[in-house]
Amino acid sequence: MRIALDPFMHRFYSLEDLPRKVKELGYDWIELSPREDFFEWFRRPRVYPARIKSFKRALREADVKIATLLPMYRWASPNEEERRTAVENWKRAIQVAVEMEVDTMNSEFGRGPHPDGGQCCPSCHAGGQTNEFAEEAWWKSIDELMPIFEREGINLNIEPHPEDWVETYQPAVDFVRTVGSKNLGFLYCTPHTFYFGDDTRKMLLESADVLRHVHIADTFNHKGSSGLRYIVNPPGSTHRVHQHLDVGQGEVPWDTFFETLGEIGFDGIMTTCVFAWEERADDSARFNKAKIDEYVAKYFKK
């Protein structure tokens, strides 16, 4: 199993300094999320041969590897020009993965064309229900891209995300199964647990055949206390909250989560993806790695 750090809270380090820092924090693997000098949000990769060479050298010297690269593109946009741009950017990102000798990428189903939380069409998001136009756009993109992933030997793990056109466990898992490619897997993101559904164990058991990747961070159940766990003003606001906290700071059922992973023999990628504590980013990274090690030792067979 690859236990990786999403170094978003450490994105201020250069690519050359990042591997050393990650090693210092106790990790051997990086999940490289969007950053301005590599895969910027929604834009073509800012990568060239010299940058790849220096980054690979720094990884080698620190004895750290890239578990997965995480690009974000608008591949589910009903706007065909935006969707085509996203597909072309995906193609370049896949080339970068090959050049970096990385065998796995991960991403989200996509939020449509607007990075500021706007909607891509009048009914694009409705209470977590899928939108037919965004869904059809995603299928067009995946039909074009999956043969490239397969040809290049790159795996893709995908997650539903709050405010995406699909943000729940189902139908996300069925989409993965319907594609039917050995190169496409499901990513279970624990800080999105209470958007996914209400039964962590059941969801993990039912997705065991396609589960390849998990994200580790805690959150509170926004549906708890009669929907009053969070109170957002003004009354009637459509804003919703999700968090990426240290393990134990929220309500994710961690013993159930790790016990079930151990039961199904999970052996994929496990990434610490806490974003809440930049002021103590080092302590947070170390703490969560220790908690993961503790739970794995408790519930996974040797």
Q: Who contacts 153 (Cβ-Cβ below 8 Å, separation ≥6)?
A: 103, 183
What is the per-residue pLDDT for 119?
45
Whether residue 248 contacts residue 241, with contact meaning beta carbons closer than 8 Å, is answered with: no
Compute the distance between CA of residue 170 and CA of residue 158 in angstroms, rounded to an integer: 13
Q: For the chain, what are the domain ranges? A: 2-299
Residue pLDDT, tens place only, 175-210: 999 999 999 999 999 999 888 888 999 999 999 999
Residue ranges in the chain whose pLDDT is less than 50: 113-129
What is the per-residue pLDDT for 110?
84
What is the per-residue pLDDT for 131?
80
SS3 of 55, please?
helix
Q: The domain at 2-299 falls in which architecture?
A: Alpha-Beta Barrel (3.20)
What is the per-residue pLDDT for 130?
59
SS3 of 185, please?
strand
CA distances from 26 to 55, 122, 266 (A): 19, 46, 21
Compute the distance between CA of residue 151 and CA of residue 149 in angstroms, rounded to an integer: 6
Quote the distance between the C-alpha of residue 144 and its chain's center. 21
What is the per-residue pLDDT for 132?
84
Whether residue 249 contacts residue 221, with contact meaning beta carbons closer than 8 Å, is answered with: no
What is the per-residue pLDDT for 125?
42
